[in-house]
Amino acid sequence: MRHWASFASSCLSIMPAIASSKSYRVGRSKTGLGLFATMPIKKGTRIIRYYGPILDSRIPAHDAIENKYLFELNNRWTIDGSVRKNLARYINHSCRPNAESDVRPRERKVFIRAIKNIEPGDEINYDYGTDYFKAYLKPIGCKCPSCEAKRKKQRAEARAERAKVKARTERKAKAGTKGAKKKKLNGHAFSKANGRARA
Ligand SMILES: [Zn+2]
């Protein structure tokens, strides 16, 4: 699998052409554009076909085609998903997805199928696979909601740890100041008592 999660801004121009009767729409995602549910989608439902011309790697002209939306079915067959009609190309990767790619090499078809109940407004995503992740996402840091949440949690934990250290340091510093104050007070009290004693 070789297709990418980022999209050209020129894709926006096709947005008005999308039928409203579909269970999805193209919309703004954190990482660019994405595909969003417009109605409840039940787990197991076929949402959309990953559509495009079939490329045969044995044909040099086909093999030379390179774009962000190539979906490898097997060693020989690849779907060129860069065509405008293929709205499935907007679906972003997630490490904890709500859909999966149902790859059928014999039929030379790929369907995106819900693996969870999806609510209207939810972004639809699937796992692009280990090879893709290692090659493209790991080096730059995966921006999927699951990884973002993980990073957010790690940042919060680091913040909490820093706060703890700071509080400890401040407590120690305060204890030091208190000690200094006490000495002064003692000195004062001592001198007063001394004064009284002298009077
Ligand atoms: Zn991720």
What is the per-residue pLDDT across 149-172, written as a single tens digit (0 to 9) for each? 999 999 999 999 999 999 999 888
CA of 138 to the centre of ligand 1 (A): 9
User: Helices in the chain by DSSP H: which ranges?
Assistant: 60-63, 130-132, 138-140, 145-198
Give the pLDDT confidence score for residue 195 in this predicted structure. Answer: 44
CA of 92 to the centre of ligand 1 (A): 10
CATH value at residue 33: 2.170.270.10
Structural domain count, the chain: 2
Q: What is the pTM of this model?
A: 0.69
Rounded Cα distance, 50 and 71, in Å: 8
Residue 195 covered by a domain:
yes
Give the pLDDT confidence score for residue 90 in this predicted structure. Answer: 96
Indicate the burial class of 174 (C-beta count within 10 angstroms; 0-12, 13-18, 19 or more): exposed
- Show the domain range for 188: 144-199
CA of 150 to the centre of ligand 1 (A): 9
Task: Say whether both 50 and 69 belong to one domain.
Answer: yes
CA of 16 to the centre of ligand 1 (A): 30
Of the residues 98, 123, 140, the one at which a domain ends: 140
Rounded Cα distance, 180 and 120, in Å: 64
Task: Say whether both 72 and 100 belong to one domain.
Answer: yes
In the predicted model, residues of the chain with pLDDT beneath 70 are 1-21, 177-199
CA of 91 to the centre of ligand 1 (A): 14
Q: Which residues pair with 110 in a beta bridge?
A: 50, 103
Task: Say whether both 62 and 136 belong to one domain.
Answer: yes
Residue 198 covered by a domain:
yes
Give the pLDDT confidence score for residue 189 in this predicted structure. Answer: 46
Give the pLDDT confidence score for residue 183 in this predicted structure. Answer: 53
Residue 15 covered by a domain:
yes
What is the residue whose two structure tokens read 């090879």? 131
Residues around ion ligand 1, judged by CB within 5 A, are 95, 142, 144, 147
CA of 162 to the centre of ligand 1 (A): 26
CA of 173 to the centre of ligand 1 (A): 43
Q: Which residues, 6 or more positions from 160, have their beta carbon under 8 angstroms from its beta carbon?
A: none
CA of 144 to the centre of ligand 1 (A): 4
Give the pLDDT confidence score for residue 68 in this predicted structure. Answer: 82
Task: Say whether both 163 and 136 belong to one domain.
Answer: no
Of the residues 89, 119, 140, the one at which a domain ends: 140
Distances in Å between the Cα of 27 and the Cα atoms of 53, 122, 171 are 25, 11, 51
Q: Which residues pair with 79 in a beta bridge?
A: 54, 71
Residue 54 covered by a domain:
yes
CA of 29 to the centre of ligand 1 (A): 14
Give the pLDDT confidence score for residue 3 in this predicted structure. Answer: 52
Give the pLDDT confidence score for residue 179 in this predicted structure. Answer: 53
Give the pLDDT confidence score for residue 190 in this predicted structure. Answer: 46
CB 110 within 8 A of CB 48: no
Give the pLDDT confidence score for residue 186 in this predicted structure. Answer: 52
Task: Say whether both 63 and 159 belong to one domain.
Answer: no
Task: Say whether both 98 and 184 belong to one domain.
Answer: no
CA of 27 to the centre of ligand 1 (A): 20
% of the chain residues with pLDDT over 90: 63
Token pair in block for residue 61: 């002209």
CA of 128 to the centre of ligand 1 (A): 10
Of the residues 100, 125, 140, the one at which a domain ends: 140
What letter represents residue 133's amino acid? F
Give the pLDDT confidence score for residue 177 in this predicted structure. Answer: 65
Strand 77-80 versus strand 123-126 pairing type: unpaired
Give the pLDDT confidence score for residue 132 in this predicted structure. Answer: 84
